[in-house]
Structures are given as structure tokens and as C-alpha cells.
Amino acid sequence: MGESQASLLLRKQLKDLTRNPLDGFSAGLVDDSNVFEWAVTIIGPPDTLYEGGYFNAIMSFPGNYPNSPPSVRFTSDMWHPNAVYPDGRVCISILHAPGDDPNGYELASERWSPVHTVETILLSIISMLSSPNDESPANIDAAKEWRERREEFKRKVSRIVRRSQEML
């Protein structure tokens, strides 16, 4: 039996990223025998609080990718108000199952679509790091600190960036 459509697509996306790397992140397999588990490093975007940081994450793809979204979880420390839960799970619209939002927060067009690739997901995460927002917090404590004690928030992110550089 041949490879699944999902694994063929993931191998193609990995090959494309290896041949034409993009600024801002690197990606590869956690283990060469499993194309459904990727290790990614996101470089903190310039002119943001996260600038200069190296943040590691794991992308886990479902067997029916691209019909369902992967999950992404930071394994590095991350302090962000609206898109990263305290356990590191990334919460951005494009990683939510396709269709209407049962909570009514997101339009169907903002949620997962099979046209997304590893590249578009990682660029969305980089964009999220560039513009913290406390409107719909994933990390209540980070959102409260962002709102009420901005300097403390900045110091905490600065420490996380420094620690990420020491891990290299």
C-alpha cells in the first residue's frame, strides 16, 4: 500500500521548505520515520518584544491533513496574552476546525482551510507574536499583565527571549 495523501503532502511541504527556506522559522521532522510530527523553531520577529528569541514548538498533523488542522505547542517558554495557552498550545483561528465557530467569535473564513500549509501556519504564528492582543485571551494572567502592568510584561518576555538564546 502506498503512502497516504497526508504524508505525501507533508513530505512535499518539507522538501519545499528545505529547498527554499524562509526567514523567521525553520522546520524539520522530530523523527525521520514520522512525517506527522515536526519540530519548528520560530525566530522572534524584528521590532517586537520577542525579537532575537528562538522559540521551539512541535507541530502534530492529523492523519486526514489537510482536511483537519495540525496542533502546535511551544516547548520553549512563551508568555503571550491571546494566542498561547499556559501549557504552550497555540490558539489561533486558522488552527481551529473548519466551519462555523460554535462560540460565535470567529468567521468560518478565519478558521482552518485545506489551502493552509506549514508555511502559512508559521507565518500566522509569527504575525501573532508581532501584535499581542488582550481581547480574547488564551493566557488570562499574561493578558492581565499586558493590560495592567505593561513594563512587567515586557521584562518577563525579555527574560524568556534571553533564556531562549542561552539554549542555543
Cell 528545505 sits at which residue? Answer: 18
Residues 33-69, buried b or exposed e (16+ Cβ, 10 A)? Answer: eebbebebbbbbbeebbbeebbbbbbbebeeebbeeb
Annotated catalytic residue 157: no
Cell 493566557 sits at which residue? Answer: 139
Using alpha carbons, select from 105, 75, 102 the residue that is nearest to residue 90: 75
Q: Which of 14, 29, 39, 91 is catalytic?
A: 91
Q: Give catalytic residue positions.
A: 91
